[in-house]
A and B are shown apart, each in its own frame.
Chain A
Amino acid sequence: MSLEFKPGSAVDPKRAVRFGAWRVAEYRFYSMSKWMTSVIVFGFGNPILYLISVGLGIGALVDANTGGGGILGVPYIQFVAPALLASAAIQGVMDEVTFPTMDGFVWDKVFFAINATSVSATQIANGVMIVALGRGLFTTVLYLGVLLAFGAVPITSVLPLLFTSMLAGWGWASVMLAITARLERDDGYFAIIGRFVIAPMFLFSGTFYPLEQMPLFLQPLGWISPLWHSVQLGRHLSYGMELADGMLLVHLAYLAIMGIVGMRFVYPKFKERLSR
């Protein structure tokens, strides 16, 4: 077989410049399919362990002490579900906007190779975001599936909870991607984020009890957390927990602004870095 070569005739430039972000996503999803088994095992394993420990353990204790009334009128597991789902989404997106993004810029530098094709820096950033949201959605859907199987949430809550979780995932992914794009080396940074940002966020966002139970001086930790805003939205939309006037908009706006502002910082940095 000899090389049949007609320079410049194979690619239609108009077609080539479109859908670049989806092509980046296609490539990442293809790479990921190589370790699908572990993705699925972790995807199911995590919620099952949480449901057993939190739902059956703490839930039984809380429900017993509230005379079966649960918290805010719903069983404890249903109360916790929006937080578990939003944190699953946040963890899912986090898996894409940290190490794989560093790999693209620093280790294998595949982003530079991609940027040498018709795909632009902006499309690469969007592609990373599509994959991050895809991972977040995948993890959240698995989690929801397990919750439904355990009868922990009613079927009517599925769409609202997916929406609020993914909104938190998007806000978080944008901010984290803007930060990762600025890192020249890992330097243990992601471990620090995991330990000192994500773990406390999980604990101080009204996850296991209403944020109002906290002393007032600790409550701002929840207010700045995307998880808390997502949890409040989730509780409101899925089982009608009451929100103060205007807070529905505040929660939505907070997460949307995180997403939009984050991406505003992502695009120019991707462009600058890939031009080096």
Chain B
Amino acid sequence: MSKSVEREAVIRARSLTKKYKDFVAVDGIDFDVYRGESFGLLGPNGAGKSTTMKMITSVSQRTSGELTILGKEPNNQGPEIRAHLGVVPQKDMLDRELKVWENLVTYGRYFGLPRKWLKTKVEELLEFAQLTEKRNEKADDLSGGMQRRLAIARGLINEPEILLLDEPTTGLDPQARHILWDRLFRLKEQGVTLVLTTHYMDEAEQLCDRIIVMDKGKIMAEGSPAELIRKYSSKEVVELRFGTDKNEGVAKQLEGKSERIELLPDRILLYTDKGEALLTAILDSGLHPVTSLVRRSSLEDVFLRLTGRTLVD
């Protein structure tokens, strides 16, 4: 039996489409999410990631195509599906007037969970989210990172099979992001399937086993971060800055020196498997960039290759 047959798809989408009047937000996409994996939807704002998430959450009905979540039909089994989903929305949507622990208990009650059971679970989740000391503070008084962790703890109150996170670290500082990534990684170890949207390539690389890259409602590519980079980019990238008015002219001179060249408004990117050697050759040829950098290829480069645009404008 092959590996792909063994894996159980908890989400299955075929020709999934969502239209708002004339605007096609999601344009006939196909994907599977397998149990226990961490699956990412990567793309810029307006790519259709959040719309896809809303269809998975079963609050927004698809216009056409097929979608099953945990073997159920979201159009008429939304509440049953959501019984086993954890949702962490882009905006935390906490009750800011309630205390931290109260936010968790009231949320658990929506799933019909008994108060006695919740009492223990809330303490576990507070510890998991590193909020035990803040349990009696109002949600409004927490920092942005803490509110996010509380939103995640809240999304876990029903011990979901799938945790959906919409832009989980947008607006957080680097330290808060790393704490969050660590917590999400632990959840994955517990067997929770993670589905997240992000426009941060480093987040997708850190967290996701598999990614679909979306743009304008369509899937541009699918695979693991490493696979995508291997397939759509070179090993390394040389970044050169000559000044905004000079970049274009220099880019013409550099043509043919690397596998591929991308001209961005503020810099030139040269794709190669031997970055240092290429940079030395460029410097030896008498060109003097204001700044230069040799780095590993990233998903940002994959996205640039696929769409001709950068992820974060």
Contacts and interface: CB of A to CB of B under 8 A. Distances in A.
B195 to A, nearest CB: 13
B35 to A, nearest CB: 9
A55 interface: no
B61 interface: yes
Interface in B164-191: 186-187, 190-191
Nearest to B160: A7
B87 interface: yes
A108 B161 CA distance: 27
A117 B98 contact: no
A4 B83 contact: no
Contacts of A12: 83, 112
Interface string B74-101: 0000111011110101010111111000
B151 to A, nearest CB: 9
B192 A7 contact: yes
If over half of A's interface residues share one DSSP class (helix, strand or loop), that class is named, otherwise mixed; here it is loop
A10 B124 CA distance: 14
Nearest to A114: B110
Given A11-B112, A110-B95, A16 B79 contact: yes
Nearest to A3: B128
B283 to A, nearest CB: 53
Interface residues of B, number: 50
A4 B121 CA distance: 8
A274 interface: yes
Contact of A20 (B70, B96, B110, B186): B110
B290 to A, nearest CB: 46
A119 interface: yes
Contacts of B54: 275
Contacts of A5: 156, 159, 187, 190-192
B98 to A, nearest CB: 7
A116 B93 CA distance: 11
Nearest to A18: B112
A17 B79 contact: yes
B161 A117 contact: no
B70, B91, B102, B159 — most chain A CB neighbours (10 Å): B159
Interface stretch (A27-35, A198-206, A220-228, A253-261): A27-35
B158 interface: yes
Given A13-B84, A116-B87, A108 B96 contact: yes
B226 to A, nearest CB: 27
B159 A10 contact: yes
A11 B113 contact: yes
A141 B306 CA distance: 67
B159 A9 contact: yes
Contact of A117 (B94, B107, B125, B186): B107
A136 to B, nearest CB: 22
A120 interface: yes
B115 to A, nearest CB: 11
A30 B98 CA distance: 10
Interface string A1-45: 111111111111111111110011011001100100000000000
B221 to A, nearest CB: 29
Nearest to B91: A109
Interface in B103-139: 106-107, 109-113, 117, 121, 123-125, 127-128
A115 B158 contact: no
B45 interface: no
B282 interface: no
A275 B80 contact: no
A5 B192 CA distance: 9
A112 interface: yes
Contacts of A157: none
A120 B79 contact: yes
A1 B109 CA distance: 22
Nearest to A274: B59
Given A23-B109, A30-B102, 4 more contacts: A5-B192, A7-B161, A108-B95, A113-B154
28 contacts: A1-B127, A2-B124, A3-B186, A5-B191, A7-B192, A10-B117, A11-B83, A12-B112, A15-B112, A16-B80, A16-B158, A23-B109, A27-B106, A31-B98, A34-B97, A108-B94, A112-B93, A113-B154, A116-B57, A116-B82, A116-B85, A116-B155, A117-B82, A118-B82, A118-B110, A118-B111, A120-B78, A120-B79
Interface of B: 54, 57, 59-61, 70, 78-80, 82-85, 87, 89, 91, 93-98, 102, 106-107, 109-113, 117, 121, 123-125, 127-128, 154-156, 158-161, 186-187, 190-193
